[in-house]
Structure 1
């Protein structure tokens, strides 16, 4: 397939191999990304359209009223990024090139595809805000640690800390004191608030992922090796969009989400990288004392922030959803009542939810430059933009010189004095935490053992300045991978397959 996008520097070629993987051959990196965008639209236009609706809090407009709660909750927390600026990025030229290719395919359509007809929708062009929202959405949905904090706090306050303290990975004496101080409001927490995390699922499904890498000293070829397995279920279309880009001497192959120019895992001539879900704790629950539309702070009572979210609904009038916020985040009990999920009367103590990205602007080009990195150091620097990363992943990167680094690619609070495993006191200033700096999240560099790995486990244990993985999965997979990596002196490609 040859196609000339209006903005393209020159004609480029897209070839699908026998496995259905598109290969884009272009004269410039920008044109390669234009080809990637065009191929993604050609294969996955409905998937992209639907994913953008979810990320932007517009699913009810596309699919109907059952998505109203999901849309309103996400928009209240600025998952779509519409309540903060869309900053400029050094990677915007890649995002723009990708969008030119994707929108070039959309504009080439001479009829509405059947998926859109079935949904009563029409294709539309996409923009930078869509890409930024997609990244924020992946951070939002991957690990709802606040639900575990709510359950743990209620159980401990009701039945005693000692019954449950061994069931949580990190728990401190300060956490114990918090449970005692907040005993009454924790006992009265409404456990049905958890339904806000998964409003359309009776039982949420979970999956795992592994990645590991060795330096050239541990490989038969003398070159570094990396393996990454995201453990995604089989779906049609696939979760990932696999693509190869070529622009002269520059080559990239990897997996992205259709609709964004970010390679979640892949390799170039210089580097290779892979990721796992980090089970990063980016949420905090606060018990707030509320009095006449004001919340208690360390310096007295402060008026709540009131905002209204307008949710468009397919086949119906739009719905106005009032939102109440404290300095920490959205109050959950009033939201539950507004959405018809609770009929409780106004309580003295209410629960607010903090999400680390809620007030942080993020760009469309934030992650686009990763395949242009020549080394692990450059890759690690590109993960963060203005000290923010819109992900919640463990990422391993190795370069051709056998430099091996591991990063926790995220935006998360630096909790000192408490672990964050239980709800916090909303009126005490000491529980307002700064966000982690990139250097605190570049956690491993050229380990002496010659390998590194992650498997949704607690990758830091007691080694970091603060706790990052409060509710990870069991370490069994990580332990087994470690055993295997210690069994041989040299590894082959076949060993990693």
Structure 2
């Protein structure tokens, strides 16, 4: 027995040693790719020495003697910290994810090949001006210089992920950067998705009720739309969902997740500082690391600092010494879905206004890991690429004998958007910036500007010119062979909404409607916000003058105008009307919940129970209102629409009919549905978060899900690569934390302000910024999540162009020498 015990001890000890050795070995190989931020390196591609000074937050301050050398160093720094992220963005837009991930990403690659964004980026290289071409070339050389250092300096393949998904890394090309901007446009565009959802919904509800569940902005008149089945015909009244893969690698955002942001500025008359102020917080999908990367560039036109995206040699939101700029998604209706009729006698032809024409077609081979390659037949019409039926659920609204194509402003091979953005970044005044942005195409943005004397906002990006007789006004898929449904070029840049030196001294956007114009000069029917703008207007007008701190307070504001407006409406007949009830009964829990909500001010604070009760109630309420009418289609409505709920409970145009369950004999009232949905919500809360309502925390459900797109669901590894934090805010607060709307926890915060910046031109170096995670994409780096906790708490780091401040607390200084200089250590 003693001998057996001894051998078991030896085996157990040996197993522990092996496990420890394996962990140490994995850590060793993974840590080899951690960059050293100190030292001197000899590189090819620069003309003079360049310094990369990383301050104590790991923000690189790049100093060089020419713009090209500075952009080279930015590419070098991006590759050092975010190589895996950059290569994944490039693979996504190229449609080459399946080479690494197999069948999981075939649908994504299929879509990207058909859109051909990368091919359009390649041909758009020639559309760039000389300074931008030089910047793209220098940036690519900087990325490739770091790739060379990886190959020669034993840098652990450049990133830990490379050990798991081993694949060669092709040299970076100028077209790669243009392609990433086009990929960003795809992530921010949701008009096609909205068109199809509107068409599908119109097939199952009467036309007079469509304006309830998919309402226009309430400040607009209701546009009369034709019935979709009458417009297109031969479409089944209901078709099953063809779900797009719920994959963090997908560039397609779901309904309500296409894009959102805030930006506002105050002129001198509304500023207590004697100069202008600007706040900007663009919202994108939360990831680890965040897509944003902070950097400062020393350029000939003046230094700039702010948020960059790895892969782009550009500060997308930031400031110089004289100009600040912020961006918000403009919600321009820049996409149209067309129903293309196929020639019944020749499947290679489609119908045009002039008769049958051949599809432009070519083959494309998709290589799939651990599976045979597939060959796609890519087809284009005059209106745009032909898309598969599972994208946007297009197959559910396409009649037999037809296919769908997509018109989209970003689908151009002559796209100077990057040059326009580069020229705007180098501008010194509002007038220069607006003029510089004229050639910009996509993604359409509202550009909020502040120089030292004034503020402005301009919508930049191409706006399609539509025929006034367009069948659906661009709101529903329409026949592509009818001339009136085809685009007629783009609107003049001068017609894009513009607000310069506003009389009230303040300008801003929360993705709300910016202009009220009739079709076809309308810009859009679908806007991204009807709620946050109400709170923003109140905060801006509640004081005569603003400061940097008041702008920060507004940026971090978590009071929900939606909760304040809906709760008194929905609960009007429930408060103080119930009979006494015993502890533990559903009636007693309902009374406790109503008491909590009655004393709540609408603040979506992470430490409070009321936001969770309110959010679960409204979610259950909308589901009860629409489930019997829409059936399985109700699952597409993942987030509440406050305008819909308000229409129902105010009985606007008879909208209270939604409260009656059509399958039941009794006539249910809205009070009945409100009470039942509250009980549903409390039951779900009890099963998921506990039955003691007073101890609930909104932040437990509303965690910011900065998850790693490729490793975030891998057991054990997910604990190292995902960054989860309790957060305040919600779908409709200025500090927006958009919830997922699906899954076991529909209140997970998945789409928020990955970058925040507030700029004060009275004292520019007192400006501040922050990102949602950290600068490094390496999960073993201490800079992987070093900014995340500051971001969660609503704190910032200094945004200074003072080189002495950067050097004073630098964590490292890297010196790049040209090839003829000193040798690398």
- The alpha-carbon distance between structure 1 residues 416 and 274, as it changes in their structure 2 partners (threshold 3 A), is same
The Cα of 1:189 is off from its aligned counterpart by 7.6
* 2:464 equivalent among 413, 420, 428: 413
CA distance in structure 2 between the aligned counterparts of 1:287 and 1:197, rounded to whole angstroms: 26
Instruction: Check conservation: 1:175, 1:422, Cα contact below 8 A.
Output: no
The Cα of 1:446 is off from its aligned counterpart by 1.9
Q: Deviations over 1:462-489 (max 9, x none)?
A: 3786233332223211121122111222
* 1:89 equivalent among 128, 146, 150: 128
Query: What does 1:76-475 align with in structure 2 at a 5 Å threshold?
Result: 76-82=114-120, 85-86=123-124, 87-90=126-129, 91-109=132-150, 110-111=153-154, 112-113=157-158, 114-166=160-212, 167-169=214-216, 176-177=225-226, 179=228, 181-187=230-236, 190=239, 192=241, 195=244, 204=254, 206=257, 208-232=260-284, 235-247=287-299, 250-292=302-344, 293=347, 294-332=349-387, 335-336=388-389, 347-363=400-416, 365-385=419-439, 388-402=440-454, 404-417=455-468, 418=470, 419-433=473-487, 434-462=489-517, 466-475=521-530
Instruction: Check conservation: 2:362, 2:379, Cα contact below 8 A.
Output: yes
CA distance in structure 1 between the aligned counterparts of 2:482 and 2:301, rounded to whole angstroms: 57
Higher helix share: 2
TM-score by length of 1: 0.88
Q: Deviations over 1:140-184 (max 9, x none)?
A: 122332122112123324433211034232799986246364252
CA distance in structure 2 between the aligned counterparts of 1:244 and 1:30, rounded to whole angstroms: 15
Choose 163-172 or 287-296, whichever is displaced more. Answer: 163-172
Q: Deviations over 1:195-247 (max 9, x none)?
A: 38989779948373211001122111221100011244654322201001225
CA distance in structure 2 between the aligned counterparts of 1:144 and 1:197, rounded to whole angstroms: 16
Instruction: Check conservation: 2:196, 2:397, Cα contact below 8 A.
Output: no
CA distance in structure 2 between the aligned counterparts of 1:393 and 1:343, rounded to whole angstroms: 31
CA distance in structure 1 between the aligned counterparts of 2:341 and 2:398, rounded to whole angstroms: 15
Aligned to 1:34: 72
- The alpha-carbon distance between structure 1 residues 281 and 107, as it changes in their structure 2 partners (threshold 3 A), is same
Q: Secondary structure at the match of 2:319?
A: strand
The Cα of 1:257 is off from its aligned counterpart by 0.7
Aligned to 1:482: 537
TM-score by length of 2: 0.55
CA distance in structure 2 between the aligned counterparts of 1:466 and 1:197, rounded to whole angstroms: 36
- The alpha-carbon distance between structure 1 residues 243 and 320, as it changes in their structure 2 partners (threshold 3 A), is same
- The alpha-carbon distance between structure 1 residues 70 and 55, as it changes in their structure 2 partners (threshold 3 A), is same
Choose 101-110 or 40-49, whichever is displaced more. Answer: 101-110
- The alpha-carbon distance between structure 1 residues 60 and 428, as it changes in their structure 2 partners (threshold 3 A), is same
Q: Secondary structure at the match of 1:159?
A: coil
The Cα of 1:97 is off from its aligned counterpart by 2.1
- The alpha-carbon distance between structure 1 residues 301 and 190, as it changes in their structure 2 partners (threshold 3 A), is farther
- The alpha-carbon distance between structure 1 residues 76 and 231, as it changes in their structure 2 partners (threshold 3 A), is closer
CA distance in structure 1 between the aligned counterparts of 2:398 and 2:351, rounded to whole angstroms: 19
Instruction: Check conservation: 2:497, 2:514, Cα contact below 8 A.
Output: no
CA distance in structure 1 between the aligned counterparts of 2:300 and 2:382, rounded to whole angstroms: 51
Q: Deviations over 1:248-290 (max 9, x none)?
A: 7821101011111121100001210011223332211122332
Aligned to 1:20: 58
Q: Deviations over 1:381-429 (max 9, x none)?
A: 32243xx423232221122232x22222323312342531112232210
Aligned to 2:774: none
The Cα of 1:443 is off from its aligned counterpart by 2.2
Instruction: Check conservation: 1:415, 1:467, Cα contact below 8 A.
Output: no
- The alpha-carbon distance between structure 1 residues 203 and 337, as it changes in their structure 2 partners (threshold 3 A), is closer
Name structure 1 gaps, 5 residues minimum. Answer: none
Q: Secondary structure at the match of 1:72?
A: helix
Q: Secondary structure at the match of 2:288?
A: coil
- The alpha-carbon distance between structure 1 residues 180 and 128, as it changes in their structure 2 partners (threshold 3 A), is same
Instruction: Check conservation: 1:407, 1:444, Cα contact below 8 A.
Output: yes
CA distance in structure 2 between the aligned counterparts of 1:303 and 1:65, rounded to whole angstroms: 31
Q: Secondary structure at the match of 1:255?
A: strand
> Is 1:56 aligned with 2:88?
no
Q: Deviations over 1:114-162 (max 9, x none)?
A: 3212111233320111011101111112233212211212332443321
The Cα of 1:430 is off from its aligned counterpart by 1.4
CA distance in structure 2 between the aligned counterparts of 1:25 and 1:416, rounded to whole angstroms: 51
Q: Secondary structure at the match of 2:99?
A: helix
The Cα of 1:16 is off from its aligned counterpart by 1.2
The Cα of 1:65 is off from its aligned counterpart by 2.7
- The alpha-carbon distance between structure 1 residues 178 and 408, as it changes in their structure 2 partners (threshold 3 A), is farther
Superposed CA RMSD: 3.2
- The alpha-carbon distance between structure 1 residues 396 and 413, as it changes in their structure 2 partners (threshold 3 A), is same
CA distance in structure 2 between the aligned counterparts of 1:401 and 1:354, rounded to whole angstroms: 40
- The alpha-carbon distance between structure 1 residues 82 and 390, as it changes in their structure 2 partners (threshold 3 A), is same
Q: Secondary structure at the match of 1:478?
A: helix
Find the structure with the greater CA-based Rg: 2
> Is 1:6 aligned with 2:59?
no
Name structure 2 gaps, 5 residues minimum. Answer: 1-37, 553-825
- The alpha-carbon distance between structure 1 residues 415 and 168, as it changes in their structure 2 partners (threshold 3 A), is farther
> Is 1:66 aligned with 2:104?
yes
CA distance in structure 2 between the aligned counterparts of 1:147 and 1:241, rounded to whole angstroms: 29
